Amino acid sequence: MSEPGQSREAVVEKLRADLERASESGATRQLSERPQALREYVAAPGREPVESYAAIRELLQAHWKIPVIETEDRVAELEQLGGARGSIGRCGVRLLDLVGSTDIHIVVRGDPRGEERQMLWTLLHELGHLAWHLELLESVGAVYQRVCLNPGLETELARFSLDRGPSLQRMTELEADLFALDWLIPRWWFGEATPPGLPEALTADGHRCLSLRRAFGSQPLPLSEAAVAGLNRAGEEERRRSEEALRPGSTRWARAAWLLWNRERLECPLSAELVAEYDLIVGGGGRYVPELRQPAIGPGGLEPDPPWLPRVAPDAAAAAVDEPGWVPRLVASEGPRYPEYNIPIRPLPSPEPRDSRLRWSHMFKPATQKALSLESWIGRAREQGVGLLLFPRTPAERALDSRGVPRA
């Protein structure tokens, strides 16, 4: 644990310096340097965990320019590669355009005045997505835009999402949990002997159980003989449970406990095979856009059933974009076949809460373009016989706009 009595500034500064040291390049200025730095940092032997939510949040916001948005509302919905994400947080990665910058927002559900410990876990879990899944998240962002250049790409994605999406989702969530767990309970804590300061009667299982309780913010136990016996029993029970497969829909505690007793035998990344399958479909990871080298010319085949992207009827589009959501919505062209292209649009930043009231701009046109109303774009797409891919503001972007935080 970080030294009690240390100022927040000192904790942030040390954390920043430790992360830079952990990075291969010795720096964390570039987004691409951060995942590896985070993974190395949590694995460093002898590291004492930083448990200050405020300090980690400050590091992200002030030094890494990643806004952390706190909300008391639900923050998630169905994810596009299958399955439902938890409702406690979100690592939102959005590509503003094909070759421009990547916007990352971390959303944490809760009120830091009363739920800081729970929010710390959530924040670290979302940071785990950054550490393990940045390339995958960027790739999904790029695929949304590639579907505009090559609508037929949706067919394979729909199939993958249906068949493999839920498994991929489970694996990536476990990886993010494992990152949070490794951050708060370093692996080096569990050596051969009982660490100094702990009763000798505390078994290895009891020690794990105690660490987990502390990580989840339980009240400190006076380590009496009876309490130690209780921890040992509870730890033994957790170990026994962890020998079975993790049940879908398990609680956060159950997932963390299962990982704590299993992590030494798990080989990360757990999702490697599934990500490789996904990469085969999209032709390469990250921001790979083969359509730039070889434009897809001519109409594609039949649309998949069920489709990959959520569809919205033209007359329901205004209501749909005002709903909180993280994924684009497609106003599909008429007919059962793919159109030649989909027009990607997004609303201008504004404190106005409803996207349907805003002007929308084409995502690939210069910033000097005339932004149009949603209705005008719907009419324009209809005239051209093509789809219109709507990228409404995410709840994170809306929160930033309402606070007047500038963003592209």
Residues contributing to the site for another protein (CB under 8 A): 96-101, 145, 148-149, 289, 291-298, 340-344, 348-350, 359, 361-371, 380-381, 384, 386, 404-408
b/e for 36-46, b at 16 or more Cβ within 10 A? bbbbbbbeeee
What is the H or E stretch that residue 69 is in? Answer: strand 68-71
- Number of helices and strands in the chain (H, E): 13, 8
Lateral strand order in the sheet of 68-71: 68-71, 102-109, 89-95
CA distances (Å), origin 260, targets 24, 139, 184, 205: 27, 30, 11, 10
What does the block give as tokens for 287? 């921001």
Smallest gap, in angstroms, from Cβ of residue 263 to another protein? 38
Alpha-carbon distance 399 to 379, whole Å?
30
Smallest gap, in angstroms, from Cβ of residue 286 to another protein? 16
Smallest gap, in angstroms, from Cβ of residue 339 to another protein? 10
Write the DSSP assignment of 345-362 as a string of letters: EEEPP-S-S-GGGSEEEE
Cβ-in-10-Å burial (0-12, 13-18, 19+) of 382 comes to: middle
Residue 113 or 293: the one with the smaller Cβ distance to another protein is 293
Q: Are strands 387-390 and 329-331 parallel, antiparallel or unpaired?
A: antiparallel
CA dihedral 13, 14, 20, 23 (to 10 degrees): -150
Alpha-carbon distance 255 to 257, whole Å?
5
Residue 12 or 180: the one with the smaller Cβ distance to another protein is 12
> Are the CB atoms for 271 and 127 separated by under 8 Å?
no
> Are the CB atoms for 351 and 404 separated by under 8 Å?
yes
Smallest gap, in angstroms, from Cβ of residue 65 to another protein? 8
Smallest gap, in angstroms, from Cβ of residue 342 to another protein? 7
Q: How many CA atoms lie within 13 A of 63 on its CB side?
A: 19
Smallest gap, in angstroms, from Cβ of residue 68 to another protein? 14
